[in-house]
Structure 1
């Protein structure tokens, strides 16, 4: 064998598995790209009506249904947001809705978290059966007991007052179920150590469980605030006086009076959606974290 033969490099032979691995990576990236494109298209489809609502609120009434559709207002009519306050009782509507939403949300979070602690941590006879019966009320439609509830509120002289909405929405099985599922992800050893140190059940709930439950509490608060803010049927049944109208009832009466003022109607719709959107954007991290961890068991 000559020196030339020894110095000649031997070409590397690729292993068959490398080609298969590279092909799988390419396919995986391709499917991931397809998934991202699908998510972007789905998000665009969901946000398009809201974008059109905001754009329409900044147009003149004659430019709302122009063909072809103008996606950017020209000119931008900021005057609509002044006119809606002058032509309607928007201040009263927003004040009543905000008062109800904050009150109901606070009571739902407090009662739901407190009752959930009892079902999750306190041992008593019939606990599981009682919890099952209580959660089973979620499956009962409100329309089935709407009339008896209205009769009860009337006999208590709460009809046509804001207290009627607070009374019927201050307690809910959804909050109890959500918080109980989260409490069960918290190690029981923390509560046992606190009991050994002499802490009462109320102290464990207030000083240990609640600080660890911020994601679930934020999720429940956001759900309850949104539900109360967007409620239409409850205020329609119980709130008959004009000074008690919420934003949903107020917009309905405004539409009946100005049914051809589409730009102003969209302006009112933007004002009704804006508070909920801002609260969700501020608390979305806690909301996602709370929903993701609710179904886990420690």
Structure 2
């Protein structure tokens, strides 16, 4: 009787383990399929950047007539280096300014006892519901009235504000124990010293993640640089790549070669800061 009961229990455990293994295997297979579907456009872009214009749309993944001419054209026939520099300057300056200003605003909204603090934060947060095309024309009119069109200032300043950064940093600061700040204030520190010496060092993971987010978002800017600049010296990468399209068709071989080069800085940035990004996702406060 006891042996029959043991056999029954082992059978049930075996079926449960088999069922869990089957579900895990199915989820793994699904993840592999989704990963391949996500990677296929990138692999196709890289492969097609080495094809000639006549074969780029043939539908074959591997190039039949491997050529470096597309990259040669991109770096010799158009000022692609200047485009990359403009994109880098714009993205870097916006990222640095946004992190500094957003962190101060978020700290004030999280810790300082300001009149109407919650209402101010609600108004800032509500701007996330407004899409960029809605404010494109009003923003263009304001920048034109300020005389900032076709300049680095007009390209950079309007893109510094981002409610998402203020929201994320505020939520992070709310998780920092108030005892740390109270101890610093007792020792004679003012709000600025508390912010600079305590809050910012504790914010490195979330600031690193936001730095990657801001840099990538502004590296890929197209609509605002297209509207706010007309000088060839201020052309950014995305607008420059779009110039390979004419009324007679698109030079997809040049577009894809330029796109591959434009992706490399973003890929390098992600690989360098991926650990900080994971930490910022896991960190919800300090214990």
Report the secondary structure of 1:88's partner residue: coil
Question: Unaligned stretches of 5+ in structure 1?
Answer: 1-9
Give the equivalent residue in structure 1 for 2:272: 282
Task: Provide the rounded CA distance (Å) in 1 between the counterparts of 2:247 and 2:265.
Answer: 24
Count of aligned pairs between the two proteins: 286
Task: Provide the rounded CA distance (Å) in 2 between the counterparts of 1:200 and 1:35.
Answer: 53
- Shift in Å, 1:15: 6.3
Change over 3 Å in CA distance of 1:17–1:127 after alignment to 2: farther
Of 146, 168, 174, the match for 1:184: 174
Instruction: Check conservation: 1:96, 1:245, Cα contact below 8 A.
Output: yes
Question: Unaligned stretches of 5+ in structure 2?
Answer: none
Q: For each residue in 1:197-229, what CA deviation from the matched residue of structure 2 results, as whole angstroms up to 9, or x when unmatched?
A: 222211111111111111110111111111111
- Shift in Å, 1:256: 2.2
Instruction: Check conservation: 1:58, 1:80, Cα contact below 8 A.
Output: yes
Instruction: Check conservation: 1:236, 1:249, Cα contact below 8 A.
Output: yes
Give the equivalent residue in structure 2 for 1:207: 197
Give the equivalent residue in structure 2 for 1:108: 98
Which structure: larger Rg? 1
Task: Provide the rounded CA distance (Å) in 2 between the counterparts of 1:215 and 1:79.
Answer: 42
Report the secondary structure of 2:243's partner residue: helix
Give the equivalent residue in structure 1 for 2:46: 54
Task: Provide the rounded CA distance (Å) in 1 between the counterparts of 2:271 and 2:145.
Answer: 41
Of 251, 254, 279, the match for 2:244: 254
Instruction: Check conservation: 2:177, 2:286, Cα contact below 8 A.
Output: no
Q: Which moved more, 1:183-192 or 1:172-181?
A: 183-192
Superposition TM-score, scaled by structure 2 size: 0.91
Task: Provide the rounded CA distance (Å) in 2 between the counterparts of 1:156 and 1:133.
Answer: 25
Give the equivalent residue in structure 1 for 2:255: 265
The answer to whether residue 89 in structure 2 is matched with residue 99 in structure 1 is: yes
Task: Provide the rounded CA distance (Å) in 2 between the counterparts of 1:236 and 1:252.
Answer: 10
Give the equivalent residue in structure 2 for 1:4: none
Instruction: Check conservation: 1:64, 1:263, Cα contact below 8 A.
Output: yes
Q: Which moved more, 1:17-26 or 1:264-273?
A: 17-26
Q: Which moved more, 1:215-224 or 1:73-82?
A: 73-82
Instruction: Check conservation: 1:162, 1:244, Cα contact below 8 A.
Output: yes
Q: For each residue in 1:217-254, what CA deviation from the matched residue of structure 2 results, as whole angstroms up to 9, or x when unmatched?
A: 01111111111111111011101111211111111112
- Shift in Å, 1:111: 0.8
Task: Provide the rounded CA distance (Å) in 1 between the counterparts of 2:165 and 2:145.
Answer: 28
Task: Provide the rounded CA distance (Å) in 2 between the counterparts of 1:148 and 1:264.
Answer: 34
Instruction: Check conservation: 2:205, 2:279, Cα contact below 8 A.
Output: yes
Task: Provide the rounded CA distance (Å) in 2 between the counterparts of 1:14 and 1:116.
Answer: 61
Task: Provide the rounded CA distance (Å) in 2 between the counterparts of 1:133 and 1:11.
Answer: 70
CA RMSD of aligned residues (A): 2.2
